[in-house]
Structure 1
């Protein structure tokens, strides 16, 4: 049982460390959840229903996040021309620049953090994380 407690503690430490570092990268302009939504929109997932499914959260949670992003001029909402019931989200030019900048900083952080592993260890770690996530 002590092994499991030790693993839990290590996972929490790593998660909190990553979250703290990402918060710093975001320069307190938004939460990690808001950035994740921006990043998904930047990658073509631009409907609230698709975002809630991808993030496994309620539609009302996505609405709260997108309300904040609209208020801060990071996204716009408009109705689909194909189906007027569908709301389509788009990044503003400011958000496109911001997402690109943050993604570069996050990638540099991840490269630095994972540099403690050999290439083989990184591959094993990725396999193990996927297995654990399933």
Structure 2
């Protein structure tokens, strides 16, 4: 339910796949589509579809290598950085409202339980 709520918040700007690609490029810098596909563990066709959409929206650009013209890297534009920041802020505000009624102790307990759950899946 929360995932659907969050998607509705920024859905008019970005799909969840687009948000993940922008976030990944923001954290790791420009890279080739094939490398991005491997790092994110998604198909090359998925990356192509998402990056085509992001390029069309001017949130991302393709940069051809000056050393090897066959190599093309994907990079965020300033517009892409701004929309990413806006969407992440929307997400933060959503979670702040969602967990506002929890006490500090309840939040710490929930984090501990989710951490334990995460560790059992590795």
TM interval, shorter chain, is 0.7 to 0.9
Q: Comparing both chains, which one has the higher relative contact order based on Cα–Cα distances under 8 Å and sequence gaps of 6 or more?
A: 2
How many Å separate the matches in 1 of 2:107 and 2:39? 25
Provide the aligned length of Structure 1 versus Structure 2.
118
Q: 1:121 to 1:85 in 2, by over 3 A?
A: farther
How many Å separate the matches in 2 of 1:36 and 1:95? 12
Q: Tell me if 1:117 matches 2:102.
A: yes
Q: Tell me if 1:95 matches 2:109.
A: no
Give the match's secondary structure for 1:25: helix
Q: Tell me if 1:107 matches 2:92.
A: yes
Q: 1:28 to 1:86 in 2, by over 3 A?
A: same
Q: 1:85 to 1:18 in 2, by over 3 A?
A: farther
Unaligned runs of 5+ in 2: none
Are the counterparts in 2 of residues 22 and 32 from structure 1 also a CA contact under 8 Å? no
Following TM superposition, by how much is the alpha carbon of 1:113 offset from its aligned partner in structure 2, in angstroms?
1.4
Unaligned runs of 5+ in 1: 1-16
Q: For the aligned residues, what is the CA RMSD?
A: 2.5
Matched ranges for 1:1-134 at <5 A: 17-47=1-31, 48-80=33-65, 86-133=71-118, 134=121
What TM-score comes out, normalization by structure 1 length?
Answer: 0.70
How many Å separate the matches in 2 of 1:44 and 1:108? 25
How many Å separate the matches in 1 of 2:24 and 2:94? 20
Are the counterparts in 2 of residues 40 and 46 from structure 1 also a CA contact under 8 Å? no
Following TM superposition, by how much is the alpha carbon of 1:45 offset from its aligned partner in structure 2, in angstroms?
4.4
